[in-house]
Chains A and B, each alone.
Chain A
Amino acid sequence: MALSTHRSTATLLRHLKATTTTTIPFLRNLSTNSTSTITVETSVPFTGHKIDPPSRSVETTPQELMSFFRDMALMRRKEIAADSLYKAKLIRGFCHLYDGQEAVAVGMEAAITKKDCIITAYRDHCIFLGRGGTLLESFAELMGRKDGCSKGKGGSMHFYKKEGGFYGGHGIVGAQIPLGCGLAFSQKYKNEENVTFTLYGDGAANQGQLFEALNMAALWDLPAILVCENNHYGMGTAEWRAAKSPAYYKRGDYVPGLKVDGMDALAVKQACSFAKEHALKNGPIILEMDTYRYHGHSMSDPGSTYRTRDEISGVRQERDPIERVRKLLLLHDIANEKELKDIEKEVRKEVDEAIAKAKESPLPEPSELFINVYVKGYGAESFGADRKEVRAVLP
């Protein structure tokens, strides 16, 4: 997914008058040429606060755009499947869906490596997938089965993937922000050239711990990037009713900020790689992703009591991230309608298979209740309180 750095002089924006349903065979060879760079302009320019925003032109390759499409289609399909599973009472408790916001997950992933850390709040299903989580792990976790990423003990709000650098998955609004600064502190302490992306929402942007953590990150130049996924509603409260200043990218005051169109995966990618560069040199930066969620806050929220259905469908028509990438793919003749539809069908099948497999996964054993409460080992020959179980023996 690395950006190809050399510019191919022959490749520019191509305007095709022909309808996208028919494609001349010989032109299709261009789509598989993954080294060709396409330069795309983001839909909206970036707005900076105390920083010069990056350029609007983003370089990408056909391969990358295809992977964006596929990943976002997978995430969208997964969230819709989770919706039906919840209504079928296979998923209980809280289920916060990310559909509409997929561009943030996918664009961020494109700009960074697995050594960079991401930490987010409870709307974590798609970011988990982006970080290398499998569909089986996520569905099994949602249904409380043993094969889940947290062995069924975490649930929707507690997805973690240590190998992928994904630190969760947190239920309390805003509590993940100091944790993210701690991850950045650790990266600085160990002299790693990596950054931490700490995601939070517009609701959490009013939490005190955000500003406390921001102060510390700025004080010690920690490589922390705070990303506000502004979907304009903190559960049922619109942003203008909750925040005196809804310009979240400006609220860092002494910390530079950037406002990004969060429904445009390429803009997100550009902003994230810009932010990573900045954070490694100068310390924290705030990114505000202007995004939107189609579902309500969670499955128990219809999502229509505080906003109109017209608004939702309006955003879906004009700003949908998958549609945007689809148009780009068709415009640059990287794929045709049929191929894209095939990908969507394939993705749907993948999701259905994963759900079937997850349904077969067993529920955890009763003994799992007490496992992982404490870490076993290391310490003197210490026993449990009843002296029957040796916890650890010194070497």
Chain B
Amino acid sequence: MAAISQGIEATTALFLANSNKFLFSSCGSSLSEKKRNFFVVKSDGKSYSGLNQQQRRAQKVVTNAIATKKDKAPSSTASKPGHELLLFEALREGLEEEMDRDPCVCVMGEDVGHYGGSYKVTKGLAEKYGDLRVLDTPIAENSFTGMGIGAAMSGLRPIVEGMNMGFLLLAFNQISNNCGMLHYTSGGQFKIPIVIRGPGGVGRQLGAEHSQRLESYFQSIPGIQMVACSTAYNAKGLMKAAIRSENPVILFEHVLLYNLKERIPDEEYVLNLEEAEMVRPGEHVTILTYSRMRYHVMQAAKTLVNKGYDPEVIDIRSLKPFDLYTIGNSVKKTHRVLIVEECMRTGGIGASLTAAITENFHDYLDAPIVCLSSQDVPTPYSGTLEEWTVVQPAQIVAAVEQLCQLLR
């Protein structure tokens, strides 16, 4: 651990010292050739790193894969390792660490600079890194996404923030044609290491246009990866992984999850972009979910446990490609699948996931896959109507009961 923090301190000092004259000799060249002292934590708690055996034994890893915290005792803060923060702060921490590490990383979006970001994810970064690295763009999503892609083509690693994912529909052409396909149509000559991120999902009475779930529209684009974060821990890890990835990654955040408080490790960690997270192991039914619906599922899980069921909850995290390995192992164990998602019923992530599981694991299923998704309606403004468009815990409990009854 000492070696890692030394390594990180050294690199941080180097970049801060040189922040006035940007050292761009490394921009465009792969940083993977340089030795990095950091380690990866997989969701099952196993960790491994590029360090030698001795150093590895000296590490202490704090994993916190389970979202619901059992202990809420106020006295526990001082003795526990790690630090507590909110999800948007975790995103910011990940972003800041990556910007320190690599001078090619830059942010562009509406109000990300002086305003600090509409959800405070980029607060304070413009003062630290300057206006060119944290760029306030005019309201022109199509062009600034295109600009980000052009910058990525020539060696930078931009992070494009959509103030709300729904606004990125204006940039669909750039994301689909240029971002996703350029690596392929250029025969591998150009890579696009861009991260497109922003909040989406149904909020609190934001209206139809500001409550969109774009993962269903983007999922067919070849060449991109999509991930959805749900806790402060995986938000920071996925943000860092997305920035380091050479592929274009779309990171879906959720408007209602920005103020989730969690304790995350002090050490640097990067999560795996293509992996799903086992939230709660179980025996009776596999519940696949992501983003905000994870919390509805966990709430329903409490009720289900009281009723005697043992659900296995998996946060799929990686929306493209699906982690069929983790999902498949779970299906082989429980033989029943329930998908709970916030996308619309038609053509959403759940629909694709249902098809993928049926294709690959049909023999292991004892019952048809049940997919609970939002209704195929524009999200209404009125509170009660909005509640009815989204899947609620009571519906999840009812669905599990029905699924499990087929066996009894």
Binding site for B on A (CB under 8 A): 117, 119, 148-155, 158, 160-162, 167-172, 175, 177-191, 208-209, 212-213, 215-216, 219-220, 371-375, 377-387, 391, 394-395
Contact = CB atoms under 8 A, between A and B. Distances in A.
A220 B140 CA distance: 15
B223 to A, nearest CB: 5
A160 B189 contact: yes
A155 B181 CA distance: 13
Interface string B39-63: 0101000001110000000000000
Interface residues of B, number: 69
Contacts of A154: 185-187
A319 B191 CA distance: 41
Nearest to B189: A162
A190 B24 contact: yes
Interface in B302-339: 321-325
Interface stretch (B1-9, B75-83, B267-275): B267-275
A375 B144 contact: no
A88 B155 CA distance: 40
B132 interface: yes
Contact of A189 (B142, B149, B156, B188): B156
Nearest to B191: A375
Interface stretch (B241-249, B258-266, B284-292, B391-399): B241-249
A182 B35 contact: no
Contacts of A384: 274, 321
Contacts of A182: 146-154
A216 B274 contact: no
Contacts of B188: 151, 371-372
23 contacts: A158-B186, A160-B189, A160-B190, A167-B153, A167-B190, A175-B178, A179-B150, A182-B154, A184-B150, A185-B147, A186-B155, A188-B132, A190-B155, A191-B24, A212-B143, A372-B183, A372-B188, A378-B31, A380-B42, A380-B271, A384-B274, A384-B321, A385-B323
Nearest to A178: B146
Contacts of A117: 154
Given A179-B149, A375-B247, A382-B272, 9 more contacts: A160-B185, A169-B185, A169-B186, A175-B173, A178-B145, A178-B147, A182-B150, A189-B132, A382-B275
Nearest to B30: A378
Top 4 closest A-B pairs, CB basis? A182-B150, A178-B146, A212-B140, A179-B150
B168 to A, nearest CB: 14
B177 interface: yes
B40 A189 contact: no
B223 A374 contact: yes
Contacts of A168: 182, 186
A181 B143 contact: yes
A380 B36 CA distance: 12
Contact of A395 (B50, B177, B189): B50
A216 B137 contact: yes
B189 to A, nearest CB: 4
B225 interface: yes
Contacts of A162: 186, 189-190
Contact of B40 (A160, A386, A394): A394
Contacts of A371: 188
Contacts of B132: 188-189, 220
Interface string B195-232: 00000000000000000000000000011010000000
B66 interface: no
A168 to B, nearest CB: 7
A181 B150 contact: yes
Contacts of A391: 274
Contacts of A177: 143, 146
Contacts of A213: 140, 143, 146-147
A384 B42 CA distance: 15
A180 B146 CA distance: 8
Interface of B: 22, 24, 27, 30-32, 35-36, 40, 42, 48-50, 106, 132-133, 135, 137-138, 140, 142-156, 173-174, 177-178, 182-191, 193, 222-223, 225, 241, 244-247, 270-275, 321-325
A136 B61 CA distance: 56
Contact of A179 (B135, B146, B186): B146
Nearest to A388: B325
B187 A208 contact: no
B147 A216 contact: yes
A158 B185 contact: yes
B183 A378 contact: no
A374 to B, nearest CB: 5
B173 A172 contact: yes
B267 to A, nearest CB: 15
A146 to B, nearest CB: 10
Given A151-B187, A379-B273, A385-B321, A178 B245 contact: no
A395 B32 contact: yes
B68 to A, nearest CB: 26
A373 B153 contact: no
B145 to A, nearest CB: 7
A212 B138 contact: yes
A15 B333 CA distance: 93
A387 B272 CA distance: 13
A387 B328 CA distance: 11
Contacts of A149: 187
A179 B153 contact: yes
Contact of B187 (A160, A216, A383): A160
Nearest to A369: B184
B154 A186 contact: yes
A386 B325 contact: yes
B144 A178 contact: yes
A380 B138 contact: no
A191 B22 contact: yes
B140 A216 contact: yes
Given A182-B147, A379-B273, A395-B35, A148 B24 contact: no
A324 B52 CA distance: 70
A234 to B, nearest CB: 18
A186 to B, nearest CB: 4
Contacts of A188: 132
B151 A209 contact: no
A385 B324 contact: yes
A379 B142 contact: no
Nearest to B186: A160
Given A209-B142, A380-B270, A380-B271, A153 B185 contact: yes
Most buried by A among B30, B146, B188, B275: B146
A33 to B, nearest CB: 40
Contacts of B178: 170, 175, 179
Contacts of A394: 36, 40, 49-50
A219 B154 CA distance: 21
Contacts of A119: 150
A395 B245 contact: no
A383 B273 CA distance: 10
A334 to B, nearest CB: 38
A180 B36 CA distance: 33
B238 to A, nearest CB: 11
A385 B274 contact: yes
B189 A374 contact: no
B146 A385 contact: no
Contacts of B189: 150, 160-162
